[in-house]
């Protein structure tokens, strides 16, 4: 495990850190920025490679983990797409998703909005039906057995063309009848720089007309202008990351005024070197400045921490108070795509918890 991974340290069984962990785990929260392929832990990755007869360029789980030292977003994406090659069957997608849902429940997640990248799989000859079937079966079973609900956000890979995004949408749409209760949104991820929002304006307009909720990664590595363009040209309701919005004061004011949620992923930003030290993260400044920020894990198997680890690491590095941690959990519920009745139910649970 990399040395800066919060998972390496055994959680303290008593003392202030244990109190903080217990408080964070108990906070009812939503996770809104999670790539299911980025939840594939090395142990399961090895198991799926064995099951599917796929050779890996690493001898051991430890050797693979040791390779998780990234210089930037692209160096991570290279390993992330290579890791996803072990996902072949419906059962593989089911196992990966079920493992995440169990882990999310342990972190106090009441609802998860999960991104998945069909093109990462269809490009290797895996049918989109297989991807949907495995993920959806796990979400339905997890909801029944744990009460944790899940929605799906189908994300287009922005390093590919808009034409390929349209083709993916066309292949997925017949499945909406079967999975429409889960598949509620469309997202945009992968290499940000050089792939501006405008590249996907037409396909996002089409998705909006079809009634999908829209999100896009912007302002992670790319400039604040990409955040503005994601809002104006793609008409998204939430920005994934968005931490570079601060570079444009007028944009920042707009985010505050319109209460546009940012799904911030602090440990991801650290691992991908968006910043050098978590103490330099702007999460606390954004929160205190009135931006609707939420805390999420992005690709927890690669970045060394699930959602609760992100809350805890930020509390420690940025001096967040219990009220501020509760405000982040409240934002996550409010910024979710759940219907109002369900949001209100979760908000009542949160209020009871902090009282
Ligand atoms: N795909 C998976 N994780 C991502 C991230 N952090 N940024 C862009 N694309 C991604
Ligand atoms: Zn992401």
Other C-beta atoms lying within 10 Å of the C-beta of residue 268: 27
Inside any domain, residue 188: yes
Residue 172 domain flag: yes
Q: Is 206 labeled as ligand-binding?
A: no
- CATH number for position 72: 3.20.20.140
Domain of residue 331, residue span: 16-354
Give the pLDDT score at 7: 39
Examine residue 130 and state whether it is found in any structural domain, yes or no: yes
In a domain, 347, yes or no: yes
Cα–Cα distance, 110 to 346 (Å, whole number): 8
- Selection from 261, 316, 327 nearest residue 288 by Cα: 327
The phi-psi region of residue 256 (left if phi > 0; otherwise alpha if psi is between -120 and 50; otherwise beta) is: alpha
What whole-number distance in Å separates Cα of residue 16 and Cα of residue 207? 47
> Domain tally for the chain?
1
Task: State how far Cα 116 lies from the chain centre.
Answer: 9
> What's the CA gap between 96 and 47, in Å, rounded?
11
Catalytic residues: 220
- Evaluated on CA atoms 282, 288, 294, 295, the torsion sign reads positive
Give 27-67 as a DSSP string.
Answer: S-EEEEEEEGGGG--HHHHHHHHHHHT---S-SSHHHHHHT
Which one, of 211, 190, 196, lies nearest residue 81 by Cα? 190
Tell me, in angstroms, the distance from the centre of ligand 1 to residue 190's CA: 5
Q: Ligand 1 pocket, 217 CB below 6 A? A: yes
pLDDT attached to residue 10: 62
Per-10-residue mean pLDDT for the chain, 355 residues long? Answer: 41 85 98 99 98 97 97 97 98 99 98 98 98 99 98 99 98 98 98 97 99 98 98 98 98 98 98 97 98 98 97 98 98 99 98 96
Rounded-to-integer distance, Cα 173 and Cα 165, Å: 12
Task: State the closest ligand 1 atom to the C-alpha of 272, by its place in the atom list counted from 1.
Answer: 6
126-153: b or e for each residue (b if 16 or more CB lie within 10 Å)?
Answer: bebebbbbbbbbbbeebeeebebbbbbb
pLDDT number for residue 14: 82
Say what the pLDDT of residue 6 is: 39
Query: What is the reported pLDDT for 16?
Result: 78
């Amino acid at each position: 495990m990399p040395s800066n991974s919060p998972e390496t340290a055994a959680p303290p069984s008593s003392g202030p850190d244990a109190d903080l962990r217990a408080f964070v785990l108990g906070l009812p929260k939503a996770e809104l920025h999670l790539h299911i392929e980025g939840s594939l832990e090395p142990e399961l990755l090895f198991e799926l490679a064995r099951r599917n007869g796929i050779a890996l360029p690493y001898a051991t789980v430890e050797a693979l983990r040791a390779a998780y030292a990234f210089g930037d977003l692209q160096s991570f994406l290279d390993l992330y797409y290579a890791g996803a090659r072990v996902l072949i069957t419906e059962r593989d997608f089911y196992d990966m998703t079920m493992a995440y849902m169990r882990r999310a429940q342990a972190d106090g997640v009441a609802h998860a909005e999960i991104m998945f990248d069909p093109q990462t799989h269809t490009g290797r000859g895996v049918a989109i039906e297989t991807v949907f079937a495995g993920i959806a079966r796990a979400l339905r079973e997890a909801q029944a057995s744990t009460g944790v609900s899940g929605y799906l956000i189908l994300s287009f890979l922005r390093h590919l063309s808009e034409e390929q995004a349209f083709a993916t949408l066309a292949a997925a749409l017949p499945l909406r009848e079967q999975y429409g209760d889960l598949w509620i949104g469309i997202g945009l991820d992968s290499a940000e720089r050089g792939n501006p929002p405008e590249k996907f304006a037409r396909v996002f307009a089409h998705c909006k007309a079809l009634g999908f909720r829209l999100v896009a990664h912007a302002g992670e590595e790319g400039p604040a202008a990409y955040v503005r363009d994601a809002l104006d040209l793609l008409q998204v309701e939430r920005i994934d990351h968005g931490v570079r919005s601060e570079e444009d004061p007028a944009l920042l004011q707009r985010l505050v005024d319109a209460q546009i949620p940012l799904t911030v992923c602090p440990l991801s930003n650290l691992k991908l070197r968006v910043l050098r030290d978590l103490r330099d993260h702007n999460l606390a400044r954004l929160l205190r400045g009135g931006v609707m920020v939420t805390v999420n894990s992005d690709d927890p198997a690669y970045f060394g921490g699930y959602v609760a680890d992100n809350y805890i690491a930020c509390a420690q590095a940025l001096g967040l108070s219990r009220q501020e941690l509760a405000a982040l959990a409240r934002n996550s519920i409010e910024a979710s795509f759940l219907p109002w009745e369900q949001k209100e139910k979760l908000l009542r649970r949160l209020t009871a918890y902090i009282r």
